[in-house]
Amino acid sequence: MHYVKLRNQTQLAEFFLLGFSENPTLHPLIFGLFLSMYLITVSGNLLIVLAILSDSNLHMPMYFFLANLSLVDICFTTTTIPKMLVNIQTHSRAISYAGCITQMFFFTLFVALDDFLLATMAYDRFVAICHPLHYMVIMNPWLCVKLVLLCWITGVLYALLNSLLVLRLSFCTHLEIHHFFCELNQVIHRACSDTFLNDLVIYFAAVLLAGGPLAGILYSYSKIAFSIRAISSTQGKYKAFSTCASHLLTVSLFYGTSLGVYLSASGAPSSASTAAASVMYTVVTPMLNPFIYSLRNTDMKRALKRLLFPK
Q: What is the pLDDT along the chain (311 residues), one digit of tens a residue?
A: 444 333 333 455 688 888 777 777 888 998 999 999 999 999 999 999 999 999 998 999 999 999 999 999 999 999 999 999 999 999 888 999 999 999 999 999 999 999 999 999 999 999 999 999 999 999 999 999 999 999 999 999 999 999 999 999 888 766 888 888 998 888 898 888 888 999 899 888 888 888 899 999 999 999 999 988 888 788 877 877 887 888 888 898 888 877 766 665 555 555 556 777 788 888 988 999 999 888 778 888 889 988 888 87
Q: What pLDDT, on a 0 to 100 scale, did the predictor assign at position 172?
A: 76
Q: What pLDDT, on a 0 to 100 scale, did the predictor assign at position 13?
A: 64
φ, ψ dihedrals at 208, nearest 5°? -85, -50
Q: What pLDDT, on a 0 to 100 scale, did the predictor assign at position 253?
A: 86
Q: Map out the domains of the chain with their CATH numbers.
A: 20-308 (1.20.1070.10)
User: CA 300 to CA 291: how far, in whole Å?
Assistant: 10
Q: What pLDDT, on a 0 to 100 scale, did the predictor assign at position 103?
A: 96
Q: What pLDDT, on a 0 to 100 scale, did the predictor assign at position 7?
A: 36
- Note the pTM of the prediction, 2 decimals: 0.90
Q: What pLDDT, on a 0 to 100 scale, did the predictor assign at position 2?
A: 44
Q: What pLDDT, on a 0 to 100 scale, did the predictor assign at position 39?
A: 97
